[in-house]
Chain A
C-alpha cells in the first residue's frame, strides 16, 4: 500500500529516531525534532516506537490512502480530518481505502507527527529513513515529500480508538522554559553577560528549523578579553573549529543565540556557552517563531532529574497503551 501525497504541506519530511554514528563525518543524528511525540504516534497505531512517520511543520499535508489503515497524529495541535470529518489528536483512528487525510489550521505547537500502521517504508540510508536534505540522505530521494509522491507503507495492523491520556501530552508553557547546563565555553563570557543571558526575555526568531533555533531580544553578550588563540579567527566569539554538542548554544558575534538541533552542523568555529538539557530538546521543536522564551540555569543533578521525569512519562504512556 502507498500514501498518495496530493499536497505536501509546508515542509513535511519522513523522520524516525535518526542515524547516530556518523556525526564524526559531519552527518548529524537527525530524526524527529520531538522524539516523544513520534514514539507516542507509533505506539498509538501499533508500530515499533522507532518506525518512520511524517513530521509536518506548521501546516498539514493532504494524503489519499490506497488501503485501509490506522493513523494517529501527535505533537503539535494540528487537528486531522478524514474526508473533511474531524478526528482527535493523540488518538488513533481509521482511514479507509480511497479516503483522504487532511488537516485544519495549526492550533498550538509547531510539529505534528503522523503515524500510519505499518510505518513508512522508504529505503533507509545509513540505518535510518530520516530525511537529511543537505546531505541528500533518507526520505524520498533525500528530500522532503512532494505532491505526486507515493510513499510505501509496511505491513501492520493498528487499533482505532486508542488514546494517550491528556496529562501525558506535553506542550510548551508561556513563556517556554528551556533549561541550560552551562559549560563548553561558558567562561568566555563576562559575569554580567552570564547573568544577562538568564535574566533576559528572549523570543524564537523566524530562522528556526531542523538545523537550529535562533533567539532574539536579549542583550548582546560580552566576552572576557583575551588575545585570540592562533587559528581561531579575530572575532571574540570565534574558536579553533571544534565539535558541537546537540543542543549546544552558539552565539556568533555575541548577538543571537542559536540552539543546534537534530540536523545541526557537527562542528565549526563559533564558541558555545553550554547546552539545552536532553529532556528539553523535544520541547524546542514545538516552539513557533516569536514564542517568548526564558533560559533557566540547571546543574547536572537538575538535568538528570528532568531526564528521569521524561523517561517516567514515556513509561506511563507505554503502560497506558499496552
Chain B
C-alpha cells in the first residue's frame, strides 16, 4: 500500500491510500479521515472518505494549502496503528433480479454497451466465468457486502464484497454513461455493487432493483425519519433475492410506510475476517436471523 498526497485545486487535499481496492486501504482511509476530523484543524470544511482514498476540503484563506497538507500527512502514522474493527449493522436488502424496469433500461442503452447483443447480466456472467445469469446472480447475493463509500449522488452506497480476491466479481463500466437509470437499481462497476438512490445518469451494469428506498429528502419513511440518507460507510449488506410478488408486497408496505428493513447490530473485525472469511460471513448473516 502506498499513500499518495495531492492537491485538488487550491481548496482540497486528496489522499489515495492505495491505487487498488482492498479492505485494508478502506480501513486506513476511514481511520485517517476520522483522525483529520478529530484533529479539528481550523479551516477544514468537509471530509469525504471514499473506497480507498479520502478528501479534505479547506478554506485556503484560513490555512495555507501547504500547511494543510503537512497537517494531514502528520496524521498518517496515527491511522496506521488504528484498530481495524467496528461495531456496525448488517442490513438485508431485497433485490428483484432481472426485473422488467431495469431490463427495459438495459435495452434502451444497448449501443453504449460492450456487448449490444445480450443483457448486462449475461455479459457479466460470461466475463466472470459463470455459465448462466442465474449462477452469477447466486454469486452476487450469497455472501455479504461492505459499504466502502457513500456518494456519487445523494446517499448512493458503493459496496465491496466480503470474499477472497479471486472470488471478487469485476465488470467494466458502460462504454459511455447512460443518461437514465431507474431509481433503486442495483448496479455493478469495477469491483463495486451499488444502489442508485435516485433516478439519473449512470455507468454501472444493471442487475436488478430493490423496492426499498434508501434516500428520502422529505424524511417521511419510518426508517429515514432521523436522516434522509440510509447508508453510511461500514454498513454491511446482505442481498435477498425476491420475485415479483414479493417485490409488489414490499412496495405496498413502503407506500403505507409500514416497511421496516431487517437490521442487526454486528461487530466487524478485519483481522478475524481475513483469518476466516466463510466463518465470519456466516456469523454476520446469522445475526440477521434474530432481526
Interface residues of B in 1-45 (CB under 8 A from A): 6-12, 14, 16, 18-22, 45
Decide yes or no whether A156 CB sits under 8 A from chain B: no
**In whole Å, how far is B174's beta carbon from the nearest beta carbon of chain A?**
10
Binds A, one of B47-55, B81-89, B282-290: B47-55
Residue pair A242, B52 in contact (C-beta under 8 Å):
yes
Residue pair A247, B9 in contact (C-beta under 8 Å):
yes
**In whole Å, how far is A59's beta carbon from the nearest beta carbon of chain B?**
23
Residue pair B12, A246 in contact (C-beta under 8 Å):
yes
Residue pair A245, B190 in contact (C-beta under 8 Å):
no
Residue pair A241, B51 in contact (C-beta under 8 Å):
yes
Residue pair B7, A265 in contact (C-beta under 8 Å):
no
Residue pair A134, B190 in contact (C-beta under 8 Å):
no
Decide yes or no whether B192 CB sits under 8 A from chain A: yes
Decide yes or no whether B211 CB sits under 8 A from chain A: no
Contacts of A229 in B (CB 8 A): 18-21
Residue pair B51, A268 in contact (C-beta under 8 Å):
no
Contacts of A137 in B (CB 8 A): 154, 217
Interface residues of A in 196-255 (CB under 8 A from B): 229-235, 238-243, 245-248, 252-253
Q: With A23-B57, A183-B14 known to touch, is A134 a contact of B158 (CB < 8 Å)?
A: no
Decide yes or no whether A37 CB sits under 8 A from chain B: no
Decide yes or no whether A148 CB sits under 8 A from chain B: no
Decide yes or no whether A142 CB sits under 8 A from chain B: yes
Decide yes or no whether B242 CB sits under 8 A from chain A: no
Q: With A25-B151, A266-B151 known to touch, is A183 a contact of B217 (CB < 8 Å)?
A: no
Expressed in whole angstroms, the Cα–Cα distance for A248 and B7 within the complex equals: 10
Q: With A242-B16, A248-B8 known to touch, is A232 a contact of B217 (CB < 8 Å)?
A: no
Binds A, one of B71-79, B95-103, B133-141, B165-173: B165-173
**In whole Å, how far is A101's beta carbon from the nearest beta carbon of chain B?**
30
Decide yes or no whether A320 CB sits under 8 A from chain B: no
Residue pair A276, B47 in contact (C-beta under 8 Å):
no
Interface residues of B in 98-121 (CB under 8 A from A): none
Closest to A233 in B: B190
User: What class of interface size applies to chain B in its complex with A?
Assistant: 35 or more
* B contact face: mostly helix, strand, loop, or mixed: loop
Decide yes or no whether B65 CB sits under 8 A from chain A: yes
Residue pair A278, B50 in contact (C-beta under 8 Å):
no
Contacts of B173 in A (CB 8 A): 233, 235, 238, 269
Among candidates A125, A135, A231, A276, residue contacting B9 with C-beta atoms closer than 8 Å: A276
Decide yes or no whether B155 CB sits under 8 A from chain A: yes
Decide yes or no whether B189 CB sits under 8 A from chain A: yes
Contacts of A242 in B (CB 8 A): 14, 16, 50-53, 55
Expressed in whole angstroms, the Cα–Cα distance for A94 and B133 within the complex equals: 66
Residue pair A231, B10 in contact (C-beta under 8 Å):
no
Closest to B154 in A: A135
Decide yes or no whether A304 CB sits under 8 A from chain B: yes
Among candidates B9, B20, B48, B229, residue contacting A23 with C-beta atoms closer than 8 Å: B48
Contacts of A277 in B (CB 8 A): 9-10
Residue pair B150, A24 in contact (C-beta under 8 Å):
yes
Decide yes or no whether A71 CB sits under 8 A from chain B: no
Residue pair A230, B172 in contact (C-beta under 8 Å):
no
Decide yes or no whether B215 CB sits under 8 A from chain A: yes
Residue pair B57, A27 in contact (C-beta under 8 Å):
no
Decide yes or no whether B263 CB sits under 8 A from chain A: no
Contacts of B8 in A (CB 8 A): 183-184, 245, 247-248, 272, 274-275
Decide yes or no whether A84 CB sits under 8 A from chain B: no
Contacts of B261 in A (CB 8 A): none
The residue in B10, B46, B189 that gathers the most chain A C-beta atoms within 10 A of its C-beta is B10
Residue pair A26, B154 in contact (C-beta under 8 Å):
yes
Contacts of B200 in A (CB 8 A): 134
Among candidates A183, A186, A241, A275, residue contacting B50 with C-beta atoms closer than 8 Å: A241
Q: Given A231-B52, A245-B11, 6 other A-B contacts at CB below 8 A? A: A20-B46, A25-B154, A25-B155, A231-B192, A233-B190, A246-B11
Q: Which residues of B contact A (CB under 8 A)?
A: 6-12, 14, 16, 18-22, 45-55, 57, 60-61, 64-66, 149-156, 158, 160, 165, 168, 170, 172-173, 175-177, 189-192, 197-198, 200, 203, 215, 217, 229
Q: List 15 A-B contacts (CB under 8 A).
A: A23-B46, A229-B20, A230-B170, A232-B20, A232-B190, A239-B19, A248-B8, A253-B175, A267-B50, A267-B149, A275-B7, A277-B9, A277-B10, A307-B60, A307-B61
Counting from the closest, the 9 A-B pairs by CB-CB distance are: A245-B8, A231-B21, A275-B9, A229-B20, A135-B154, A243-B55, A231-B191, A266-B151, A26-B151
